[in-house]
Amino acid sequence: MNGAGTTFFIALCTVLIGAVFGAVVGLVAGYVGGWFDEVVMRINDMLTAFPSILLALIFVSILGPGTFNIILALGILFIPSFARIVRSEMIRLKELNFVKSARLMGAGRLRIIFVHILPNTYKTLLTTVAVGFNNAVLAEAGMSYLGLGVQPPGASLGRMLLEAQSYLFTAPWSALFPGITIVVIILGFSLISEGLGEENA
């Protein structure tokens, strides 16, 4: 259970970093537009052009293994996906009548972005968070399995799978339980994201 808790914590922190910073970047870029939006999106494209797990491995190799470093590396890599989705919502919403009315009433940019538009992106954001959580669980498990994530005496699902390799034939359940836990988490959050997606449709 301790391993599952650690994996859950890392995934949650990763998604929070990606969602918070990604939402801010996406909202500002989408609202301001012009050259600023173009620059932000080109940086976004450069980051997403490479496999995220590969970039995470590079970051952790530079920073060193450990819980904090894996959260930092994965969190940074999750920012572009959230930024792109929130930016798309911003571009759609900023032309609607309620935003135009807020402008006519003298609302400033920050108020329009964070008070009028941001609350209307929460459904899309929640769906993205659920999908991102799944990806974060898999990324953490993969990196800890490679020995670049949680270090002893800490435990995570990926670390448990790594250590269970030595007992695969003598005690196969030591690998079975963390593996099943990962599958259950992924399936659970997949169902949540699917439900949220249907609600938004």
Q: Is the model's pLDDT at 147 over the cut of 70? A: yes
Q: How high does pLDDT run on average in the chain?
A: 83
Please give the average per-residue pLDDT across 121-138, as a whole number. Answer: 86
Q: How many CB atoms lie within 10 A of CB 27?
A: 24
Q: Is the model's pLDDT at 2 over the cut of 80? A: no
Least confident of 7-21, 22-36, 185-199: 185-199
Q: Please indicate whether residue 1 or residue 159 has the higher confidence score (pLDDT).
A: 159
CATH of residue 153's domain is 1.10.3720.10
pLDDT of residue 21: 93
Please state the domain count of the chain.
1
Going by pLDDT thresholds of 50, 70 and 90, the confidence category of residue 143 is confident
pTM beyond 0.75 = yes
Distance of alpha carbon 21 from the chain centroid? 10
Q: Is the model's pLDDT at 155 over the cut of 80? A: no
pLDDT of residue 14: 93
Domain that holds residue 10: 2-200
Going by pLDDT thresholds of 50, 70 and 90, the confidence category of residue 1 is low
Going by pLDDT thresholds of 50, 70 and 90, the confidence category of residue 13 is very high
Which percentage of the chain shows pLDDT scores above 70? 96
Going by pLDDT thresholds of 50, 70 and 90, the confidence category of residue 35 is confident
Is residue 167 within 8 A of residue 153, CB to CB? The reply is: no
Please give the average per-residue pLDDT across 118-127, as a whole number. Answer: 83
- Sign of the CA dihedral with 131 first, then 192, 129, and 84 last: positive
- For residue range 98-111, what is the model confidence (pLDDT) as tens digits? 888 888 887 777 88
31 CB-contact burial (10 Å; exposed 0-12 / middle 13-18 / buried 19+): buried
List all residues 6 or more positions away from 7 whose beta carbon is below 8 Å from its beta carbon: 137, 140, 141, 144, 156, 157, 158, 182, 185
